[in-house]
Amino acid sequence: MGIEIERKYLVNKEKWNKVSKPEKHFYRQGYLLTEPDKTIRVRVTDTHGYITIKGHSIGISRTEFEYEIPQKDAIQLLDNFTKSVIAKVRYKITYKNKLWEVDEFLEDNLGLIIAEIELKNENEKYELPDWVGQDVTNDERFYNSFLSINPYKNWRND
């Protein structure tokens, strides 16, 4: 069984804009199933397709199974079987020997930037880059599955 242990943070846009960024990658993803205790996601990247099944979060951990599928199949699944799709640009940045994935959301979630770090265990220590802001790990509004049906443009004045 795969386990994902992850923390999620808002990004300070002013500081982020000053960062020298690596190559960006376009992601489009949608959900075949979105329930409180499980999601099934289809993702298309610049070159690949994936299907991912995630279980209920306990703390910052949850079960995760991800499988590569043909990109054409992933596109067809997104176009024909998902009700909610999000688009984003992802940057992978190493800071203090830890990989950070920073997502700049597009379309209905434009303006939202979230950084994620995957950990080996829930108590693992790491340093935050100066462009990392508020921890939103446990705020369901920032889950990609939530953003796909309740986009940032509808609640950014909260």
Largest CA distance in the chain: 42
16, amino acid identity:
W
Residue of 9, 27, 31, 91 marked catalytic: 31
| Rg of the chain taking only CA atoms, in angstroms | 15
132-135 vs 113-118, strand pairing mode: unpaired
To the query of whether residue 31 is one of the catalytic residues in this protein, the response is yes
- How many Å from the N-terminal Cα to the C-terminal Cα in the chain? 37
**CB-based contacts of 148, cutoff 8 Å, min separation 6:** 29, 30, 31, 34, 84, 85, 86
Active site residues: 31
